[in-house]
Amino acid sequence: MPPLEPSISVELRPVRPDDAPGLKTLLYASMSDDEVAEQIAKAIRAQREGKELCLVALADGAVVATAMLISRTGSVGHVVNVAIDEAFRGCGLFGRLLAEFKTVAGPLKLKRLRISAEPENVAALKAYRKVGFCEIARSDGLVRFEMPVGR
């Protein structure tokens, strides 16, 4: 995987309301502005309750990637809503997002992370395997992956 150009600095941080336009382009194209704002507000509320972490990656102030960690029950966290701007694919951004999720997995008392993708989504399947997810099942039209985290 080629590293990002040294001149391009990508910052990761939790989502904020002003990320709405960027997230609409990247992830929520089919939603209205109000629906996007509600999704973000929901994520921020869940974040405050320690149940979720929605990260955005920014380059030059623009949202170029996002992913969310959800941990509603038990010791399994689910990584969902993964999207990387086409211009920023193939340079390790998913690995950086995942590294942040691994950091918070301990405090959230998570033992495993899961992620899934449609079997046709070759880029996602490859990207998830590359960062260490192992396939555990194929069900309901999805390939399901898992990795241990924490101790």
The footprint of ligand COA on this chain (CB under 6 A) covers a number of residues equal to 16
Q: Is the dihedral of CA 53, 115, 134, 94 positive or negative?
A: negative
SS3 94: helix
Cβ of residue 66: shortest distance to ligand COA, in angstroms? 9
Given a contact cutoff of 8 angstroms between Cβ atoms, the answer to whether 110 and 76 are in contact is: yes
Q: Can you tell me whether residue 122 is helix, strand or coil?
A: helix
| Member of 127, 143, 147, 149 binding ligand COA (CB under 6 A) | 127
Contact status: 23 vs ligand COA (CB under 6 A): no
Q: How close are the terminal C-alpha atoms of the chain, in Å?
A: 27
Query: Which residues, 6 or more positions from 72, have their beta carbon under 8 angstroms from its beta carbon?
Result: 51
Site string for ligand COA, 94-123 (x = CB under 6 A): x----------------------x---xxx
Which of 51, 78, 89, 144 contacts ligand COA by CB under 6 A?
89
The footprint of ligand COA (CB under 6 A) covers: 1, 82-84, 89-90, 93-94, 117, 121-124, 126-127, 130
